[in-house]
Amino acid sequence: MNHNNFRSSIDQRIAKLKGHVLIFSQECRDLIESFEILVPVAQDRELLKRFSKTKRVPGLGVVRWSLVRTCIIGITKLAYDDGSQNPTAGKLIEAIIDPGSQPLRDKLKDAFSIPIRPASTPEDSWAEEDLAARKEIEKMEIQELRQAFDQHLSELEEQWKWFRQHQEAFRELRDKRFAHIDVNLINQEYKLSEVEPPSWNTMKEAVGRLIQVAEILLTILHQKDESFEQAVKIARQIAADFWEISVAKL
């Protein structure tokens, strides 16, 4: 492969990553909405107590379990799903941190490390000493940005390490209970496979970590300092309004 073709190949890989990151981020927002609807009926004892005094308890159980399924499927899909075209946390992170992706990382780092210059006007004039000082400041900014890029990569590696450690719990439950009905023959009797589900705290942490992954990927690929804080806040308000209405009608 000649130099031009090699450079074109890297550009194509970066373009693919950028497109996949935008899709990943949108899917992450959808997961946030489902998860925040689940939170009140998963951990709000006061709300559960109010439901427990009514005939709606069985219905609440159905809704809660349905939301749990939706969230676990969403977490598994966003973190682990196979397929080269799937924009998952695993695929996106590994495409960047893989040892063979050094040229891609170098190009991303160079693009990330371009300082934002203030707009100049024709009236602007710089003395020679001012220009020298400005260049020195710019050099420092470039160095800080390059260090920030390396820090973002380290954070992505740490996030993916956590997801790999919890992969079995999420994928087994999704694959053996939600996507398929996995059974075993035990003492001449067919039974559902025993699967240990992830804990509630693990689910919460997984959603939080997916949000962090999305924020970092948007930062290093699109130079977008985009926080999901507002999206979480809106989703929590929607959840609060929904359950308030439901309880009010009891």
In the numeric block, the tokens 């080269």 are attached to: 84
What is the spatial distance between Cα 42 and Cα 19, in angstroms, rounded to a whole number?
34
CB 134 within 8 A of CB 40: no
Radius of gyration of the chain (CA): 24
Least Cα distance to 21 among 166, 223, 229, 232 occurs for: 223
Which pLDDT score, from 0 to 100, does residue 86 have?
Answer: 84
**Residue 91 burial class via C-beta count within 10 angstroms: exposed 0-12, middle 13-18, buried 19 and up:** buried
Which pLDDT score, from 0 to 100, does residue 120 have?
Answer: 56
Per residue of the chain (250 residues), what is the pLDDT tens digit?
565 665 678 999 999 999 999 999 999 999 999 999 999 988 887 877 777 777 777 888 888 888 988 999 999 999 998 866 789 999 999 999 999 999 999 999 999 998 876 555 554 555 555 667 777 778 889 999 999 999 999 999 999 999 999 998 888 888 777 766 666 667 777 676 676 778 999 999 999 999 999 999 999 999 888 889 999 999 999 999 988 755 555 4
Which pLDDT score, from 0 to 100, does residue 249 have?
Answer: 52
Least Cα distance to 23 among 98, 88, 93 occurs for: 88
Which pLDDT score, from 0 to 100, does residue 39 have?
Answer: 93
Q: For the chain, count helices (H), then strands (E).
A: 9, 2
Domain boundaries, the chain: 3-114+128-248
Which pLDDT score, from 0 to 100, does residue 248 have?
Answer: 52
SS3 of the chain: the string is CCHHHHHHHHHHHHHHHHHHHHHHHHHHHHHHHHHHHHHHHHHCHHHHHHHHCCCCHHHHHHHHHHHHHHHHHHHHHHHHCCCCCCCCHHHHHHHHHCHHHHHHHHHHHHHHCCCCCCCCCCCCCCCHHHHHHHHHHHHHHHHHHHHHHHHHHHHHHHHHHHHHHCHHHHHHHHHHHHCCCCEEEECCEEEECCCCCCCHHHHHHHHHHHHHHHHHHHHHHHCCCCCCHHHHHHHHHHHHHHHHHHHHCC
Which pLDDT score, from 0 to 100, does residue 211 have?
Answer: 97
**Residue 177 burial class via C-beta count within 10 angstroms: exposed 0-12, middle 13-18, buried 19 and up:** middle
Which pLDDT score, from 0 to 100, does residue 205 have?
Answer: 96
